[in-house]
Amino acid sequence: MEPYKLTATQALSKFKNGSFTVEEYARSLLSRIDRRDVTVRAWAYLDPEYVIEQAKRFDQVPRHGRGPLHGVGIAVKDVIYTKDMPTQHSSPIYEGDAPNLDAASIITLRHAGALVLGKTRTTEFTSTTLGPKTRNPHDPTRNPGGSSSGSAAAVGDYQAPIGLGTHTGGSTIRPGSYNGIYATKPTWNSISREGQKIYSLILDTLGIFARSIDDLQLLADVFAIEDDLPPDNAFTVKGAKFALLNHRLATVGPGTAAAMETGAKLLRDHGAEVEEIELPSEFDKMPEWHGIVLHSDGRASFLPEYRVAKDKLDSFLVDHVENSGIASLRPKIDDIASKYAAILTPSVVDEAAVGIESTGSPAFNSIWTVS
C-alpha cells in the first residue's frame, strides 16, 4: 500500500516497525497532493519544502521521545492560527497575513508530534457565503460541503489522514458526510478555541476529520476528550435500544432516506431495537434560535473587519453588523436521549449536490449545535 493511503494509526505502526521514514511518508502525501489538488483544490497554503524539513526533523527524534501522533500528516482549516504559515480566512482582508503564533489546538498537536502539512480552504470566515474553490474528490462537479471544505476534501482524497475543521452550524458534520469520511463535533469547549477566528462565542466548536474510527479515538486522546462516565465495556448492539429520529425540519432526499433505512436495518439485523421517534414541537424553533445566536454573535465578531475594510467583507457578514437586533431545551432532550443507547439522525438532507455555489443545507445540524 502506498504510504499516502494509510490512516494515521496505520502510519504510526509503520514508523514504529521501520517500514518507512516520516520523510518517505511525507513525500508520498506531497506526491498525492501534487497529482490531485489541481482537481480537488483543497489547499489554501502548502509549502512542500517546509513539509520535508519538518519530516526530516521527526526522523531524528529517538523512539523514546516520540509523541502519540509522531510524523502523522494533518490538514488545518485556514481560520486556525499556525505560526509558520499564513492564516487568511478566505478573505481579501487577510490575504498573505501570517500571525506569528499557534492556536491552542495546534500547540497540542505539535506537542503530540503531528506533521502540519498546510492550510485548507474555507468559506469566508466560515460563513454561509459562497463556497470556496474546493471540489468534492469523488465527483468534482459536486459540493464538498462546508465551511470546512478543504480539510474534509483533503482527508477524503487521501491527501492527509486527519484534518481539523470548525463547526458553527454544520461545518464539520456536513462536509464529513459529503466526502465519505468520519467527522466529529466534540462537546462545546472541550477543545480550546484560543487562537482561531471566532464566528460565534456560543456555538463555535473545533471539528475533527479522519478515515477511521481508531484515528478519531487517537485524536480524542490527544485532546483529552473523555466521557463524563467511564465507557461500558460490556455494551453490545444486541439488545440495545436506538431512536430513529423523524425530523420535521426538512424533507430528506432519497440518498439520505436510503442511508437511514440501511443503518436501522443493520442495527435490527444485529439484534437491536430501533424505535422511530419525533421530538416535541417546541424543538421546531431551534433552527430559528440558532440563527438568532449566530447573527448576534457575528455582530461582535466581524465589527473589526467591518470598521477596517467593509468594502472587502461579504455582504452577508456586513448584514450581521448592521442588523443585529433561548429558551433551553437541554433538560428535555436529555430526558428523551436517556431512554436510548443512541439517536440516529441525518447529517445532511441528501447526497452532495451538483455545483459549488453553496456548501449545503445545515437543516439537520443546527439543532444539535445550539442545544
Q: Are 75 and 84 in contact (CB under 8 A)?
A: no
DSSP calls for 194-260: TTB--S-TTT-EEEEEESSHHHHHHHHHHTT---SS---TT--STT-EEEEE--SSS---HHHHHHH
Q: What DSSP character marks residue 5?
A: G
* Grid cell digits, residue 349: 438532507
Q: Which of 28, 105, 151, 171 is catalytic?
A: 171
Catalytic residue among 14, 77, 119, 197: 77
Query: How far does Cα 359 stand from its chain's mean position?
Result: 13
Say how far apart CA 211 and CA 161 lie, in whole Å.
7
- How, if at all, do strands 182-184 and 241-245 pair? unpaired
CA distance 44 to 329: 39
**Residue 190 catalytic?**
no
75 and 117 Cβ atoms separated by less than 8 Å: yes
Rounded distance, CA 290 to CA 361, Å? 14
Whether 103 and 195 have beta carbons less than 8 Å apart is answered as: yes
CA distances to 134, 231, 261, 364 from 340, rounded to whole Å, are 38, 15, 18, 19
> Cβ neighbours of residue 227 under 8 Å, at least 6 residues apart?
none
Distance CA 188, CA 204 (A): 7
Place of cell 419525533: 278
105 is catalytic: no
Is 77 a residue of the active site? yes
CB atoms within 10 A of CB 8: 25
Q: Which of 28, 105, 127, 147 is catalytic?
A: 147
Residues designated catalytic: 77, 147, 171
